[in-house]
Amino acid sequence: MKSKSRSKWSTISCILLVGALLSTCWGQSSSVHASATAYKFDFGAGGVTSGYTGVQASTAYNASTGYGFNTPANIKNVSASGTGIGSDAVQFVTFGTKSNNTFNVDLPNGLYEVKVTLGNTSRSSVAAEGVYQLINMTGDLATDQFQIPITDGQLNLLVTEGKVGAAFTLSALEITQVSTNPTTHPTIYVGGDSTVANYYPLANSVQGGWGQMLSKFINPNDYLVRNMASGGQIARGFRDDGQLEAILKYIKPGDYFIVQLGINDTNAKNNTTEAQFKEIMRDMVKQVKAKGATVILSTPQGRATDFNSSGVHNAEGRWYRAATVALAKEEQVPLIDLNVLSSSYFTSIGANATLALYMNGDTLHPNYAGATELARIVVDNMKAQGLY
C-alpha cells in the first residue's frame, strides 16, 4: 500500500526553506501549501479553489511532488452539487479499508488533523492506514475531521463503503500537523448503533446519536471524542467488521471506550441470543482492557412510549440490558445504566415532552435535542462515578 521514496524528504526540506519555493518543489504553478505541515487538496476535473492544490483522478503518486493516487486507474472524476471545493470530486471505484486504491501524501512523522469533505454520496466511510477513521458520513458534501498519528512518513487515505451501492467520493482534503509527536491525545472512543451514531451535518442534523453530541459536554483539552458507532450495528458486527479494529489500533492507557449495543442484537434476524451477545461483548471488553484503556459499558435508552398508566417510564426489560449489567459486574468495569437514567429523566419531563425528543413517527431514534439530552446524562453519570 505504501508508495514511498526517500526523495520526498528533499521535497519537505525545500518547503521548509521558503514558501516561495513551493511551486518548484511540488510542481504546482500556484502551490497552496502554507508550510511543510499544512496541506489542502481540491479533487476533481473542475476549477481549483484558491488556496488549494488541484488533484484529478489521473494524478498518480509521485515522489517528487509527494502526493497522488496509488492506483489512478481506479479513480474517476465526478461532479458534485456544491460550490467551490464542493463543485466536483473524485470517486473511488474500488474500495475497502484494506484497498491499495488510496490517495497518498508524504508527511513528516507526527500527529495530524485531517478534514474531509465528501462529494455526492448517500453514505460513505473514510479509512486511512488500513482502518476506519470516520463511519457512515451521510448526505452530499458531508464534512468531518479526525486526528491520526503518522509514523512511517505517509498518509494513505480512501473513501469506502458505508452503504453498498453508494458512490464513494471525495471533494476536498485538509491536513494540518498538530504535533511532531505521533501520539494521540487522550481520547474517548465510542461504539454503538443508530442511537449513538453521528448524523450530518454534525452541527444541525435532524436525527442525532448521543455519541455525536458527547463532545458538547467534554472539554477538548481533556479528551477528544471518536465516535465509531453505526446504524443497525450488532455486537458481532462491531467486533468483526472493522470498527473495533480501528479502536484497538490507536487506543492506549488513559483512554476510554464507551460501548452501547443490544438493540439490534435482540432482533431475531440477527440470530444472537442474549448469552451470545454477552460473550461477544466480553471479548471486546477483554481486548480493550489488554491495551490498558478503560472500558465503560452502557445500556440503551428505551422507547419514547415506555410509560405505564402512572406516568412512569420504565424500559428495564429491553435490549439485553440484564446481560450488559451482569457483564459490567463480572468484568469489573464501569456501567452507565442509560436505560434507567434516561427513564428517570423521561418520567420527570412527562410523556409528551419525551416524545418530542424522538424523531417524528419514531419511538426509538432520538432527534438532535434528544441525543443531546442523552449525551448530557452520560457525561453527568461519568462525573458522578469519578470517571470525568
Domain boundaries, the chain: 8-179, 187-384
What CATH superfamily is the domain 8-179?
Galactose-binding lectin (2.60.120.430)
Q: What average pLDDT does this structure show over 243-251?
A: 98
Contact between 211 and 227 under an 8 Å Cβ cutoff? The reply is yes
pLDDT at 122 over 80: yes
pLDDT score at 142: 97
pLDDT score at 117: 98
Which backbone phi and psi does 200 adopt, to 5 degrees?
A: -120, 150
Closest CA to 145 of 123, 112, 171: 112
343 catalytically annotated: no
Q: Exposed (0-12), middle (13-18) or buried (19+): which is 88, by Cβ within 10 Å?
A: buried
In this structure, of 97-101, 164-168, 192-196, the range with the lowest mean pLDDT score is 164-168
- The CATH number given to 187-384 is 3.40.50.1110
Q: What share of the chain has pLDDT > 70, as a percent?
A: 91
Check if 8-179 and 187-384 are the same fold: no
88 catalytically annotated: no
Query: What does the pLDDT look like over 295-349, one tens digit per residue?
Result: 999 999 999 999 999 999 999 999 999 999 999 999 999 999 999 999 999 999 9
Neighbours of 250 (CB within 10 A): 20
Q: What is the mean pLDDT of the chain?
A: 91
pLDDT score at 370: 98
User: Considering 33, 144, 230, 365, which one is annotated as catalytic?
Assistant: 365
User: Considering 152, 222, 240, 362, which one is annotated as catalytic?
Assistant: 362
pLDDT at 10 over 50: no
Strand partners, 132: 127
d(CA 234, CA 329): 21
pLDDT score at 34: 39
Contact between 25 and 62 under an 8 Å Cβ cutoff? The reply is no
- SS3 state of residue 173: strand
pLDDT at 128 over 60: yes
The span from the first CA to the last CA of the chain, in angstroms, equals 39
d(CA 208, CA 1): 36
pLDDT score at 161: 85
Query: What does the pLDDT look like over 104-118, one tens digit per residue?
Result: 999 999 999 999 999
194 catalytically annotated: yes
User: Considering 124, 194, 215, 343, which one is annotated as catalytic?
Assistant: 194
DSSP H or E segment with residue 317 = none
d(CA 182, CA 283): 29
**pTM to 2 decimal places:** 0.90
Contact between 146 and 177 under an 8 Å Cβ cutoff? The reply is no
Q: What average pLDDT does this structure show over 356-363?
A: 98
